[in-house]
Amino acid sequence: MTTRAAGLAPRMASVAEQLTGRPLPVGLRAYDGSQAGPGGQPALEITSPVALRRMIWNPGELGFADSFVTGELMVHGDLLSLLRRLHGDSGDVEAASGAEAASGAEAAGRGDTSSARRGATRAAALARAARLVLAAGALGPRPPAPAARARMRGRSHSRARDQAVVSFHYDQSNDFFRLLLDPAMCYSCGYWTSQDPGYGLAEAQRDKLDLVCRKLGLGQGMRLLDIGCGWGSLVHHAAALYGAEVTGVTLSVEQAHYARRRIEAAGLGESAEIRLTDYRDIGDGPYDAISVIEMGEHVGGAEYPAFAARLASLLRPGGRLVIQQMSRGPGAPDGGPFIASYIAPDMHMRPLPQTLTLLQRAGLEIVSVEGMREHYVRTFGAWRDTLNARFAEVTAMIGPQRARVWQLFLAAGELAFERGTTGVDQIVAKLAPGSADPGSPLAGPARG
């Protein structure tokens, strides 16, 4: 029986259902013209046998991503809705997996043979999948990696490699980021304080910048160090509205150029500067305040203790530190193969309690922690709405592969925060007792 006669999509759906134990949650279309699964949208379309080959060589998340980025796997309808269904709305997949594990443990305890039967069923499904792949003409050598994938060399978290990683993601196009982000160019979680229809991303990012400045206790003439300053949004805000003397640090050439022009245009050259340098090379402390807004994830697991110690050494007694940082639950310490390959190579996220422990070991006292996970759902949603509305412009600007990378990244990111597999928190810390810390009252914007 040929694949065309049998219908590739129905056979794939049957194998998937046998392997997962549940009906195919989305429609499936194959390059032989066959269809399976629910009608309507969202639906997956496999446009080439190369997509199957990619998923054979890289099963799971990376094979799916490679095929989507190259256009060999297409999504009809809303990508986020499709990902929700694939993962199971309302945690159905996790509940089923947990129930299966529990029943397996119970069966083992009473000598039941149901586990063996499930193993035999899975083996049969895998054998069917192998025959299907052979019939579909999907066997062959590993396809070349998509051009949009990162190709990093050198020792992880060396200065040269960190520079290359930052350049890969941030130096692709200031015009693209200006299109995607709010006018202040904040590329981090906003702080949504209103449900009003007129309140949007720009207001949420303004309120986030104010929140950081208040938590730092900024006032006139205070020295602020912003590590990972991006395009200078916090540098500008703290200098212009709080009267702080701000030093921003970045490894991105494009970000540095943009931020410097911004500071000059605002007439803040006497109170703000941007340095194109590594945080390890900052040596002019102590500072009255330090901010690290979603840069700590890129430091590295083994390197974080030294990073925390560096922050403590740069902070004056009585000064405050605000770290806004993403986290993962236990068992998922990094961003996953898609993030590592297309967005942020060498990224490392850990559970929040582990980060707090590392900061404490560096001599820092935790003042407060504020969870912002739900705020990132709305932030990713706003970015995603902009990308989808202007996708043709984005494609012309950065190319079709990179445009699809961002499509997948923003949908997957929104889902991760929505489902709680990824979190983000604002941590306020100061030097631990013994540093003659007199405390730091919170201040509002400078007046006059």
Per-10-residue mean pLDDT for the chain, 448 residues long? 62 83 92 92 94 87 96 97 84 34 35 57 64 72 94 94 94 94 98 96 98 98 98 98 98 97 97 97 96 96 96 97 93 81 94 97 98 98 98 97 98 95 97 61 41
Region class of 58: left (phi > 0), else alpha (psi between -120 and 50), else beta: beta
User: What per-residue string of b and e applies to 422-436 under the rule 16 or more CB within 10 Å gives b?
Assistant: bbbbbbbbbbeeebe
Distance of alpha carbon 258 from alpha carbon 12, whole angstroms: 49
Residue 339 corresponds to which tokens in the numbers above?
Answer: 């993030």
pLDDT at position 433? 87
Q: Are 212 and 190 in contact (CB under 8 A)?
A: no
Taking alpha carbons only, the member of 341, 176, 161 closest to residue 251 is 161
Question: pLDDT at position 60, please?
Answer: 85
CA distance 11 to 132: 7
Q: What amino acid is encoded at 119 in this protein? A: G
**How many Å apart are CA 230 and CA 172, to the nearest integer?**
14
Q: For residue 64, what pLDDT is reported? A: 95
Distances in Å between the alpha carbon of 353 and those of 199, 324, 344, 417, 429? 33, 14, 23, 18, 14
- 324 to each of 187, 236, 313, 370, how far by Cα in Å? 12, 18, 19, 9
Residues 13, 24 contacting (CB under 8 angstroms): yes
Q: Phi and psi for 3 in degrees, rounded to 5?
A: -60, -40
The Cβ of residue 129 has, within 10 Å, a number of other Cβ atoms equal to: 19
Residue 131's CB is within 10 A of a number of other CB atoms, namely 12
pLDDT at 108: 36
Q: For each of the domains in the chain, give its residue range(s) and CATH number, in order of start.
A: 3-135 (no CATH), 159-431 (3.40.50.150)
Question: Please, is 123 exposed, middle or buried when counting C-beta atoms within 10 Å of its C-beta (0-12, 13-18, 19+)?
Answer: exposed
- Reference 16, options 133, 112, 150; nearest CA is 133
| 247 in Cβ contact with 289 (< 8 Å) | no
Q: Which residues contact 44 (CB under 8 A, 6 or more apart)?
A: 26, 27, 28, 29, 73, 74, 75, 76, 82
First to last CA, the chain: 83
Which residues have a Cβ under 8 Å from the Cβ of 403 and sit 6 or more positions away? 391, 394, 395
Distance CA 352, CA 290 (A): 20
- Residue 110: its pLDDT value, please? 42
Q: Three-state DSSP class for 217?
A: coil
In this prediction, residue 57 carries a pLDDT of 87
Question: Do 185 and 274 contact (CB within 8 A), yes or no?
Answer: no
